[in-house]
């Protein structure tokens, strides 16, 4: 079966978001989707399911100060994932045939001076793992760009948001000219080397940019990037003040796929349930002294899944305030 996100990708970027919201808000979709998900969860829990996607937080340090980020509320220390811990977790994920590893969570991955080594390590263990990360590209040097192209990194998501330098600075407190130069150089290097990886996705997170700015952004990047994405800002499960999201409470919700699909490992080795849990309020295990499967099957993780499955998300820290509605499309093929 073809997934909803795959179908939506066929639509022009300008109308994709509106069409998606209309479908997700319909009663029929919510009803059918909820029934289908209940069936999927029952099947999953009857077998030995394991994470399909792992987020390994290379670092939670950041060089930006974005309007839509709750960084000021993060109380856990900043740091970089130790190479020994990283290799240990990757080795286990390879043994589990993990499908995808993402090297971002809450921070800017390029601030990890071992980021290229980490990418190379994963690809040396298994070429088939889909490997990607989000970056603001401010620190994307020529050397790093060459390493990324050589490493066969699969995809890089670059958050840019604007084409106007002043508006961009207002959103991210970074210099747009530097970022654009770095992105163009990465594209040039990839083209010079006549390879098609990494795929370069250029992303706009909509805070308060008017339609004209969004359209100008799409026009500027759609002939250069492999994909342009436009997404709405979110309020980090009600943890970020000042980001307005209309009508959260009336949104139709269903059990969240992340709890059955994704493993989030913070830079210090502790594991949590989701990127929204940026401060680690739902720690479900510690990869420093537990295996990936220990953590995945821990009592804490199972108890959280049970609450979610029983539609009691108000009993789960962070999820209780969440406005996201991730789809289960990874299971429909």
Residue recorded with tokens 């510690």 = 286
> How many Å apart are CA 299 and CA 250, to the nearest integer?
32
Residue placing its CB nearer to ligand SF4 in the complex, 181 or 312? 312
Q: How many Cβ atoms are within 10 Å of 167's Cβ, its own excluded?
A: 17
> How many Å apart are CA 47 and CA 161, to the nearest integer?
42
Interaction site with ligand SF4 (CB under 6 A): 237, 256, 258-259, 273-274, 276, 318-319, 322, 324, 326
Three-state secondary structure call for residue 159: strand
**Residue 95 · residue 54 · CB < 8 Å:** no
Q: How far is the CB of 237 from ligand SF4 (least distance, A)?
A: 5
Residues 6+ apart with CB under 8 A from 8: 16, 19, 20
Tokens of 276: 């929204």
**Residue 231 · residue 203 · CB < 8 Å:** yes
Q: How far is the CB of 124 from ligand SF4 (least distance, A)?
A: 32
Residue recorded with tokens 């077998």 = 47
Q: How far is the CB of 42 from ligand SF4 (least distance, A)?
A: 19
> How many Å apart are CA 183 and CA 256, to the nearest integer?
34
Q: How far is the CB of 73 from ligand SF4 (least distance, A)?
A: 15
152: left (phi over 0), alpha (psi -120 to 50) or beta: left
Residue placing its CB nearer to ligand SF4 in the complex, 80 or 237? 237
Name the β-bridge partners of 262: 53
Three-state secondary structure call for residue 32: helix
> How many Å apart are CA 88 and CA 264, to the nearest integer?
15
Residue placing its CB nearer to ligand SF4 in the complex, 292 or 324? 324
Residue placing its CB nearer to ligand SF4 in the complex, 217 or 258? 258
């Amino acid at each position: 079966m073809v997934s909803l996100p795959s179908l939506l990708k066929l639509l022009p970027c300008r109308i994709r978001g509106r069409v998606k919201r209309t479908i997700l808000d319909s009663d029929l979709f919510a009803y059918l989707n909820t029934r289908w998900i209940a069936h999927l969860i029952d099947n999953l829990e009857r077998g030995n399911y394991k994470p399909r996607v792992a987020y390994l937080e290379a670092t939670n340090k950041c060089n930006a100060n974005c309007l839509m980020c709750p960084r000021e509320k993060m109380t856990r220390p900043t740091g970089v994932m130790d190479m020994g811990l990283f290799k240990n977790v990757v080795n286990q994920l390879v043994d589990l045939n993990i499908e995808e590893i993402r090297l971002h969570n809450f921070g800017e991955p390029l601030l990890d001076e071992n980021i290229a080594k980490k990418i190379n390590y994963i690809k040396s263990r298994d070429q088939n793992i889909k490997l990607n990360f989000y970056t603001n590209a401010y620190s994307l040097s020529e050397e790093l760009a060459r390493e990324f192209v050589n490493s066969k990194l699969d995809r890089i998501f670059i958050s840019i948001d604007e084409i106007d330098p002043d508006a961009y600075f207002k959103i991210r407190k970074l210099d747009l000219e530097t970022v654009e130069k770095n992105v163009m150089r990465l594209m040039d290097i990839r083209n010079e080397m006549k390879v098609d990886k990494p795929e370069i996705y250029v992303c706009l997170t909509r805070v308060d940019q008017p339609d004209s700015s969004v359209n100008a952004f799409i026009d500027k990047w759609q002939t250069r990037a492999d994909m342009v994405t436009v997404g709405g800002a979110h309020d980090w499960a009600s943890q970020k003040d000042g980001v307005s999201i209309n009508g959260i409470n009336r949104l139709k919700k269903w059990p969240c796929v992340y709890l059955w699909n994704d493993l989030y490992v913070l830079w210090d080795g502790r594991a949590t349930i989701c990127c929204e849990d940026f401060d680690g309020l739902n720690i479900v295990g510690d990869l420093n002294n537990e295996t990936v499967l220990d953590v995945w099957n821990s009592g804490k993780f199972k108890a959280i899944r049970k609450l979610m499955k029983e539609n009691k998300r108000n009993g789960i820290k962070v999820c209780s305030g969440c406005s996201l509605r991730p789809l289960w499309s990874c299971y429909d093929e």
